[in-house]
Amino acid sequence: MNIVGVPTQNDPSTGAVTRDATMLYLNGNITSLSGAGQGVPAVQDGTALTITAAGNVTVTGDILYNKEPVTTTQNQIPGLPADTLIPGNNTGQVLGIFTGTGEIQLKNGQSNGNLEIDASLATISNAGTGGLINIGNQISTLSIVGGRIQNQIKNIGATTRNVDFDRRFAQNNFASPWFPSTTVQTSAFNSATLTTTIQRTNWFNRTTY
């Protein structure tokens, strides 16, 4: 089967085309997902893509945006903290990695032990067992630029972890194509008054931070 052009994502209510977008689905396990090489961009400007599988998704190397949408260090834009949107770097590029029944597994094959994933990662299952887990060697520095949504906290086997939230996801209607959404339902509750006691244990000089 040949597909000409890029599939489009339609508004489910109106049927109107909202953008060019693609979902890649595998009816099984994805055993090796990575970009072209460490430090090499894999998701080009304007690309909107969701990768999903019926089973596990195993990430084996860097998956990077061509342009980072947010800062990853303080003062990268002078005077502003990390996770600040970078003017001019929002081209609509977005990657989602999702599994509804398995796990997102880390099996880093890069020689220096570092791994970066630019994406919103989601493991959401009805059974509540999904998570991000390391099944390979210890990772020196794991960096995630995007988001991390999971049923359970599991061992990711990283000495250093940097998770930078892509603040575009906090804006209305921004997500990777056909990415799962959730609804929080409220229920009856009893009110209670809590008394908090604060005990000072240490003072820290933070004037140079």
What are the tens digits of pLDDT across the range 123-160? 987 777 889 999 999 999 999 999 999 989 999 999 99
Average pLDDT for 73-102? 95
Backbone φ, ψ for residue 58 (5° rounding): -105, 120
What's the pLDDT at 15?
Answer: 81
pLDDT of residue 53 exceeding 80: yes
CB within 8 Å of 156: residues ≥ 6 apart:
106, 132, 133, 134, 139, 142
Confidence bin at 9 (pLDDT 50/70/90): confident
- The pLDDT > 90 percentage for the chain reads 63
Which of the 8 DSSP states describes residue 86?
A: P
